[in-house]
Amino acid sequence: MSLFTNRVVLFSLVAGWFLTTIASLPATGAALSVATSAAIVLSGKATYYGGNTNGGMCSFTGYTIPSGTYGTAVSSSNWAGAQICGACIQVTGSAGTIKAMVTDQCPNCGTNHLDLYQDAFPHVGPVSAGVIPVTWSIVPCGITTPLKIRNKVGTSKYWFSMQVVNSNTEVKALDVSTDGGRTWKATARQPYNYFENSSGFGTDTVTVRITSSNGKTITLENMSVASESSKMASSNF
């Protein structure tokens, strides 16, 4: 084999190894969405504000965050189309570690920035600092009660808009069946955390399948599509 041929073969082997290694590395920055990998630990900054569970971007009107869990807004760079809504994150700062549920968006915050509820901030860093470095990652919420689905005002057989609340993990998708689960139709998640179909499904009741970020599913049958209707599942993720 010639010296030239040896070099070509060696170059091909090195190039193949390099491409394989690069492909296995996680993305960085905004592309490193915590909504796609609970194992990722992110580094960012944290500030605090008064909190806004009911009026926040996740639209958790009337919802109460479970006892022992705080609330937080996250950067729009980590919003992931509202998939991070309702997720619980473990936040660690110089003063300690807490668990907080994502209820709102911080549109002017940088990537991986958390705007914690004011009562949470002293448990991770000094309030006098105002802005502190933190690390955080998604964790199960530890919710023991079932999750719940509820319809937006105006929902009907002609316009579908449904939300999942009280989930123990991130909700990835919500699909609807009008034939008892034989076939399924996808819905589109909106930035304000409702799953919608602008044409509705043409029927008064539907079967709903909720899929979590880890691929598990929960199905609810005979869900009314009437405005503001709600239904409790029999379990949680």
The amino acid at residue 216 is K
**182-196, pLDDT tens digit by residue?**
999 999 999 999 999
* b/e map 39-48, b = 16+ CB within 10 Å: eeebebbbbb
Average pLDDT over residues 108-122: 98
As given in the structure block, the two tokens for residue 75 are 């950067």
Percent of the chain topping pLDDT 90: 84
Q: What pLDDT does residue 39 have?
A: 75
Task: Name the E strands within the chain.
Answer: 42-49, 70-75, 88-93, 96-106, 114-117, 132-139, 148-151, 160-165, 171-177, 185-186, 188-189, 195-197, 205-212, 217-224, 230-232
Residue 196 in contact with residue 202, Cβ under 8 Å?
Answer: no
Evaluate if residue 3 carries a pLDDT over 60: no
Average pLDDT over residues 67-85: 98
Q: Which of 165, 166, 183, 185 is nearest to 174 (CA)?
A: 185
Evaluate if residue 231 carries a pLDDT over 60: yes
As given in the structure block, the two tokens for residue 188 are 């589109």
**32-54, pLDDT tens digit by residue?**
344 445 679 999 999 999 999 99
**176-229, pLDDT tens digit by residue?**
999 999 999 999 999 999 999 999 999 999 999 999 999 999 999 999 999 999
Q: CA 16 to CA 19: how far, in whole Å?
A: 5
Complete domains list, the chain, with CATH: 41-139 (2.40.40.10), 148-232 (2.60.40.760)
Residues, the chain = 237
Q: What pLDDT does residue 173 have?
A: 99
